[in-house]
Each structure stands twice: as C-alpha cells, then as structure tokens.
Amino acid sequence: MGSAVERTDEHVREYLIYRGFTSTLKNLDSEIKADKEKGFRVDKIIDQLQQFVQNFDLFGLKEYWLYLDRRLFCRLEDVYRATVNKLRTSLYRYYVINTIQKGNLEKTQEFFQKQALELQVQAEWRDWFILPFIPIPEQNSAFSPYFSRQWADTFLVSLHNFLSVLFQCMHILLIDPPVLLSFDAEVQRTTSLTEENDQLRQLLFALQTENRDQRDGDEVVHHKLPVYVQNMDRLGDTEL
C-alpha cells in the first residue's frame, strides 16, 4: 500500500510539472510533508512516533496516536481493540522508560501527572505510579525487563507488523482505494505479466534451439550409409 501511494504521488507530481501547475505542486508537496499517514509507509509512521518519544513530546505522541486511532484503528472489528490497547500501553511505557534512561525525571513525573486520570483506573498501570520514586528502577525486578533493548525491539517490531498487515488489508477493512491507486496496481500487474511473458518467450526460444540442435546432431550420428560403403573395409584394391 505504501509503495503504491508513493508511486502515485510521483505520477501526480510529474503531471503537475508537465502542465505547469506550480502552485498546485507546491501545495501538494506541503501537504505530503505534513501527511500524518506518511503515505501509509509503516517505517515513516514508526519514525514519527519515535521522534515524539525522543523529544519528550507527550502531547504530540498522544495526538498522533489518537489520529491513527480515529483514522485507522476504530474501523477494525472489536476483536482487535485489545491489541490496539496493548500497543498503546506499550507505547506509553516506551515513552516513560525513555525519560528515565535519559535522566529527565521531570518529564517522567509530568507523564504520570497528566495521565493520572486515564491510567489510574487501568490495572496494568497501577504499579507504575511508584516508578518515579524508585532509586534504581533498572534493577527492580518488576521494571527491569522494560529497560532492556530486547523489550523495546520486540515492541517496535510488533507495532510495525500490526501496521503492515493493517495497510495491506485496507481495501477490505477501510475504504475502497481511489481510481489512481487502482491504476497503479494495474500498471504493476501489467508490468509483471510482461516480464513473465518475456521470460517464458526466452525459455521457449532456448528449448526450440536445443531441440533443433539435438535433431541435427542425431541426423549426423545416426545417418545410415549405403551398404557398399559400410563394407568398404572388406573390399580389395581392385574391387574399390
């Protein structure tokens, strides 16, 4: 999905340049740059979330996740809501752990102050409110796993896989793609079929050439000579 959107954007840009619609092109580039869905590129969405985390931008992180929820996650069946909530919980924990690892305890306390009303009713956060008051949380048995690189990598990979599958199924779960995206898919399918036909044509030519060479070789090896020529070794000089 992401690659198709990116190619379509390039086609539109080429068309605008060809037509000389410079103002429209500037607006397009500006809106693409500010696109929260990042052209449905999962890697760019993950990068944006990590940027909010690294910059201690809790407001931006919450707003961006809320946008993704309204735009994408809310269209899923209810059975996937638990997965979405679990990913959001991990994302917030990822943020909190980063504030502690970077030594920014002010942002750690800010998180719990601003999220208190929302998180205090959630069982999975009940024990986390003591985190800012633990001297060395990395060595605490309850929190030490979250400070490991393995936990962070596992969370990011899980989020990446979830978004990837979601975007692949958008035509089923969300809305029908616009005509331009369908055109791009048709172009890709036609290109793939053309390449496959070329490969099959080359294979057929190679097989035909091989069969022809083999047939010519058989005619040379198995050609029957006349009887008198076959018996020449038994003839005398005068009989030749």
Asked whether residue 1 falls in the same domain as residue 47, the answer is no
Tell me whether residue 239 is in a domain. no
Asked whether residue 132 falls in the same domain as residue 202, the answer is no
Q: Which residues contact 12 (CB under 8 A, 6 or more apart)?
A: 28, 180
Q: Of 175, 205, 233, at which residue does a domain stop?
A: 175
pLDDT in tens, the chain (240 residues): 556 677 777 777 787 787 877 888 777 777 777 666 666 789 999 999 999 999 999 999 999 999 999 888 888 888 889 999 999 999 999 999 999 999 999 999 999 999 999 998 999 999 999 999 998 999 999 999 999 999 999 999 999 999 988 888 765 554 555 666 666 566 667 777 788 888 888 888 878 777 776 665 555 444 444 555 445 455 554 444
Tell me whether residue 206 is in a domain. yes
The residue length of the chain stands at 240
Asked whether residue 124 falls in the same domain as residue 142, the answer is yes
Tell me whether residue 236 is in a domain. no
pLDDT the model gives residue 226: 53
Q: Do residues 17 and 25 make contact, with C-beta atoms less than 8 angstroms apart?
A: yes
pLDDT the model gives residue 11: 73
Tell me whether residue 19 is in a domain. yes
H/E stretch holding 137:
none
Q: How many CB atoms lie within 10 A of CB 58?
A: 19
Asked whether residue 150 falls in the same domain as residue 128, the answer is yes
Which tokens hold the place of 173?
């779960």
Which tokens hold the place of 215?
């047939």
Tell me whether residue 226 is in a domain. no
pLDDT the model gives residue 223: 45
Asked whether residue 159 falls in the same domain as residue 198, the answer is no
pLDDT the model gives residue 8: 73
Asked whether residue 127 falls in the same domain as residue 201, the answer is no
Asked whether residue 25 falls in the same domain as residue 83, the answer is no
* Full residue range of the structural domain in which residue 124 is found: 39-175
Asked whether residue 166 falls in the same domain as residue 49, the answer is yes
Tell me whether residue 221 is in a domain. no
Asked whether residue 30 falls in the same domain as residue 43, the answer is no
Asked whether residue 50 falls in the same domain as residue 159, the answer is yes
pLDDT the model gives residue 203: 82
Question: What total number of domains does the chain contain?
Answer: 3
pLDDT the model gives residue 229: 46
Asked whether residue 207 falls in the same domain as residue 169, the answer is no
Asked whether residue 53 falls in the same domain as residue 31, the answer is no
